[in-house]
Amino acid sequence: MRRIRYQEIADDLRSRARELPAGSVLPSEAEMSVEFGASRVTVRRALELVREEGLIAARQGFGWFVATEPVRQSLESLGTIESEVEGVGKLSERKIAEFGFEHPPERVAKVLGDGEVLHVKRVNLADGEPFAVVTVWCPAELGAHLSRRDVERRPFYELLDVELHGASQTIGADLADAEAAELLGVPIGSPVLRCQRVTTARSGRPVLVSEHVFPAHRTEFVVDLPQAEPSITPSGLRLVDER
């Protein structure tokens, strides 16, 4: 029996979805239209058919991607990305993109002081796919004994010779710039979650400043409330004054 064109395209999309890692971004509808020599309407019908089967999904700003369950990250405790990834049965890896001692940017100097800092940028992988871009700064005297290999294998929390007390973190919506888009394998301008964290020692001294950038379709942050509060406002919500 002659196959209808959108069904043929759907067959190809199924094969891709089963071969590509979960969360992989697919070509745009315009690119698929050219690739398959079919109209956007035909391509969209094929995509919708495969979406109904749960193999692919779409989100504003990303387009189409191989369906994946977001990794849930709890905000209630001071933990690592690796523990969250491994907790859902995925292989966690990290690749160091930048490592060196430098004068801190102004926003970091306001927290850690004007002295030299160790600056590390890494890409965290879940089952081989980029999951987060993490940039960390710590005072040079605390990181002087660390090597590139150290921070590639273990989190800062285990490497610093100070007792950590806690952290404050701010999470907001953002758009992927060119560098983040390249490292994460997502389109420029696609939605990301940006988490900024300041970790303090038992003495109260800030010892780590970190920025985490996550593709919005692959992660979600969760807060379990101990009891119902008389409000429908999400916990921790704060208005940002752009003036």
Burial class (CB in 10 A: 0-12, 13-18, 19+), 44: middle
215 torsion bin: left (phi>0), alpha (psi -120 to 50), beta (else): beta
Cβ-contact 195, 171 below 8 angstroms: yes
Output the pLDDT for position 232. Answer: 60
Q: What confidence tier does 73 reach under pLDDT thresholds 50, 70, 90? A: low
CATH code assigned at 56? 1.10.10.10
More confident residue, 203 or 127: 203
Q: In this structure, are 166 and 184 located in the same domain?
A: yes
pLDDT average, residue stretch 123-140? 90
CATH code assigned at 116? 3.40.1410.10
Q: In this structure, are 28 and 128 located in the same domain?
A: no
**The pLDDT of residue 174 is above 50:** yes
Domain that holds residue 31: 5-66
Phi, psi of 190 (to 5 degrees): -75, 155
Number of H helices, E strands in the chain: 9, 10
pLDDT average, residue stretch 188-199? 89
Q: In this structure, are 17 and 108 located in the same domain?
A: no
Q: In this structure, are 123 and 211 located in the same domain?
A: yes
| 241 assigned to some structural domain | no
More confident residue, 109 or 25: 109
* pLDDT digit string, tens, across residues 110-119: 999 999 999 9
Output the pLDDT for position 129. Answer: 82
Q: In this structure, are 53 and 107 located in the same domain?
A: no
Nearest CA among 70, 79, 72, 71 for reference residue 197: 79
Average pLDDT, the chain: 85
Q: What confidence tier does 1 reach under pLDDT thresholds 50, 70, 90? A: very low
Q: In this structure, are 25 and 118 located in the same domain?
A: no
Q: In this structure, are 144 and 60 located in the same domain?
A: no
pLDDT average, residue stretch 57-86? 71
| 235 assigned to some structural domain | no
Place of tokens 């049965």: 89
Q: In this structure, are 59 and 167 located in the same domain?
A: no
Domains: count for the chain: 2
